[in-house]
Structure 1
Amino acid sequence: MNFHQLKRIYPEAFLSEQPSSDQEWVSFPFQQQWIQLKKEQRTASELALLELSLAAAEPKKEHRYSKWYAFLFEQASAVPTTAAVCRVIQFELLKKDRNFDDDLWLQSFKSLFDNVLEAFFLNDHQGILIQDHQKEQWGLEEITGILHTLDDDFSVRSACYVGQYWSVASTLPEVFHEEQRIFAKEKNKGKTVVTLSTAGLSYYIQDTLTASPLMQQLKQQLLSDPETKEVIEAMWQSQGNISLAAKSLFIHRNTLQYRIDRLQETSQLSLRNLDDLLLCYLLTLE
């Protein structure tokens, strides 16, 4: 698909030199520029499909013949036998300059992980790294911090999806393509590192929430006060621990207690109750 074909389907689409920071627009890399498209009335599945279509249309990077590439992208029947269990780590360069050295960046990125089976660019912005199963080397916070350092060193902005470990079987390509769709939807939400645990809840329920008049009405009532969202997120991150939540918000525990009580009075939902807390948290997801 080229831009003129896309323009006939989405008349509001336009090209820009940088991705949009406006939450009402979604940005797709396209031939050293960015396609900007209005999010309104676009389903998550539609945006994910469009992401994959545009990525496929971009010229692929030259890379050596790979059984992994053939297995994951070309429906090759031969299952790679180099590993019994692996995970696929997707990466995308959301911003880079014209002097960017792809090979040097890829070597630096590979050095973050042990037991790398293969890594290559799929196009000018996106690529994957396949890692054999091992004891965890880095946690989510460590990977995020290292990527921020790498971004500073190369003057780029990147994001990656750290996939789950899966058995290397004929079902792996289908599972991987679903991970691609999750990353396509979640990568522009400000997180450097995306995982199934951090993005799965939002990805799988967002369309259902958006389509529900009841949930939208409850969301409007619940989040009319800007402070409420911060309180809900802090309580969720602390797993309902009021003291930890108050510390993360830099407020006194009694102040947080008061806000929780006030929210319960207006909504009949208590953030001390885990079922209510989960429901409230779902409503904060964009």
Structure 2
Amino acid sequence: MLAKELLDWFPEAQISDQPIEKLGYLTLPLTSQQWILLEETNLTEREKQLIALLTQQEQASSLNPWYSYLIEGKGQAPQTFKKIQLVYCHLSYYQQENLASWLDMMQTLFPNCQTVLQVGVQDYVFILQQDKYSSVRSILSDTIEAVEYDFGLRLSIMLGQVWSQTGYQALSDLIQAERDLFKAWWRQGHQGVHTFSQLYLWSLGEGLVDHRFIKDYLRQLILDQDQIQEIILSLWENSAVLTKTAQQLYLHRNSLQYKIDKWEELTGLQLKELTDLTLCYQLILPDIL
């Protein structure tokens, strides 16, 4: 729910970029970066009970060590991992009685799901451990319509980037940039399942998101991998045709395929898929022009 809509209902409310404890007031999380401050004397008992329910859900997530590590950038990961991927879900419409069942079902779709966090009133994040990479694109794309119908939902979903634990950037900074990207997208009313690459390229023309952390991280990752920059450029020049690319790079086709597969395992980016290839090509443009 947008802050503007709530202010229409509660004109005396205050919007804050951080949670505030103030005597006689209730604080309700709007998104991961905004809270609304409501004076208790202006609320009915029913409104107070609803706010208590919503804030209780948010507090439960904040006690999760993954929340502290990934969302707040505090402490250590609750378990060791090499790679991680977040799946972001925004519910633009849902029936409260179906919510728990939907969350259980979503976790069964991801065998590598470590936990689920609530990061806003209508926002959930599923944390997938991707040490042994498993693509979830087809799983969600094939089931989204049935899920919405069965559980009475309207969903906006972004499959996040696969992130590694490296010294390039603080992981929480990368996650925050990713969440900002997703938020800018669903706030414009978009729905369905989309990948990180699709939303990243969409946002370049919108000018709504700071890409600096993500761009620097992925560009450095490309530079550090053997021949990946050359492979990206050659695939782009040859319309992602592997045979022509292998010939141009003097590589056996199987060797080229192996390097492409290793890159996907590391990042989740499929260089034979034109959207992912476009993202990677855009990242290396400063180095080849």
TM-score scaled by length of structure 2:
0.50
Q: 2-side partners of 1:54 and 1:165: how far apart?
A: 26
Matches within 5 A, 1:159-238: 159-168=156-165, 171-187=170-186, 188-207=188-207
- Say if 1:68 and 1:51 are closer, same or farther in 2 by CA, change over 3 A: closer
- The reply on whether 1:136 has 2:134 as its aligned counterpart is yes
Q: What residue in structure 2 maps to residue 72 of structure 1? A: 70
Match for 2:121: what amino acid?
A: D
Task: List alignment gaps of at least 5 residues for structure 1.
Answer: 8-13, 16-49, 209-238, 241-277, 279-286
Alpha-carbon offset, residue 202 of structure 1:
1.8
Return the alpha-carbon distance in structure 1 between the equivalents of residues 150 and 5 of structure 2: 37
Amino acid at match of 1:74: E
| Shift in Å, 1:180 | 0.6
| Pair 149,126 (structure 1): closer, same or farther in 2 beyond 3 Å | same
Q: Percent identity?
A: 17
CA RMSD of aligned residues (A): 3.3
Q: Out of 131, 146, 154, which is 1:157 matched to?
A: 154
Q: Does 1:145 align with 2:142?
A: yes
Q: Is the 8 A contact 1:183 1:194 kept in 2?
A: no
SS at match of 1:177: helix
How far 1:60 sits from its partner (Å)? 5.2
- Give per-residue Cα distances to partners, 1:172-202, cap 9 Å, x unaligned: 1100001111101112453411222111112
Partner of 1:159, secondary structure, is: strand
Aligned with 2:207: secondary structure? Answer: helix
* Structure 1 residues 136-162: Cα deviation after superposition (integer angstroms, max 9, x where no partner): 3433x5412312211111111011111
Match of 1:54 in 2: 34
Q: Please give the TM-score of this superposition, normalised by the length of structure 1.
A: 0.50
Distance 1:56 1:151, change over 3 A: farther
1: CA distance, partners of 2:73 / 2:6: 27
Q: Deviations for 1:205-229, whole angstroms, at most 9, x for unmatched residues?
A: 3239xxxxxxxxxxxxxxxxxxxxx
Contact 1:161 1:194 in 2 (8 A): yes
Contact 2:87/2:159 (<8 A) preserved: yes
- In the aligned structure 1, how far is the partner of 2:3 from the partner of 2:197? 34
Rounded to whole Å, the distance in 2 between the matches of 1:94 and 1:189 is: 9
Closer, same or farther: CA 60–145 of 1 in aligned 2, 3 Å = farther
Task: Answer yes or no: is the 8 Å Cα contact 2:32–2:120 preserved in 1.
Answer: no
Partner of 1:113: 110
Distance 2:6 2:103 in 1: 31
Q: 1:200 to 1:84 in 2, by over 3 A?
A: same
- Cα gap change, 1:55 to 1:159, in 2 (>3 Å): farther
- Which residues of structure 2 form unaligned runs of 5+? 10-29, 38-53, 209-238, 241-277, 279-289
